[in-house]
Structure 1
C-alpha cells in the first residue's frame, strides 16, 4: 500500500471516529434528555418550560447546530494534519 493510500485510510478512520463521537453526543441529548431522562429533567425549568420538554423541542436542535460547527472545526484541523487543506 502506498503512503498516500495509508494516509487516506488513517484520515477516514479518524473522520469516522469523530463522527461517531459527535453523533453519540447528539443522540444522548435528543433521545436521552428528551425521552429517557425527561422525568428527572422535568424537575427543573428553563424559560418557564420543564427542562425535559425543552430538550425534546428545542435543545436537541441547538446542540445539533453547535455540533455542526464543532465538526467543521475538527475537519479543518484534520485536513491540515493529513495535508488535504487547500
Structure 2
C-alpha cells in the first residue's frame, strides 16, 4: 500500500471512530446527565426516559455502535484493499 493510500485509510478510520465516540458521548453523558430533566418528563411504561437512558439506553447504544463499527470497518477495509 502506498503511503498516500495508507494515510487516507487511517484518516477515514479515525474520522469514523470520532463520529461513533461523539454519538456515544451524547447518549451516555448527554441523555444520562445533561438532558435528564427534560427526558424525565417523558414516561414509557411507567419509567422515566432520562432514568432509562442512564441505566439501560447508553448500554444498548454502545452495543449497537460496536456492530456499526464492524460494518463500517469492513467497508473501509474493502475500499482500501486490506480486508481479510
Provide TM-score, normalisation by structure 2.
0.95
For the 8 Å contact 1:46–1:54, the answer to whether it is kept is no
In structure 2, the residue matched to 1:73 is 71
In structure 2, the residue matched to 1:56 is 54
Cα deviation, residue 47, structure 1: 3.4
In the TM superposition, what whole-angstrom CA distance separates every residue of 1:31-61 from its partner, at most 9, and x where no partner exists? 0001000000001123321100100011000
Q: Which stretches of structure 1, 4 residues or more, deviate above 3 A after TM superposition?
A: none
- Count of aligned pairs: 84
Show structure 2 runs of 5+ residues with no match.
none
The CA distance in 1 between the partners of 2:82 and 2:20, in whole Å, is 22
Provide TM-score, normalisation by structure 1.
0.93
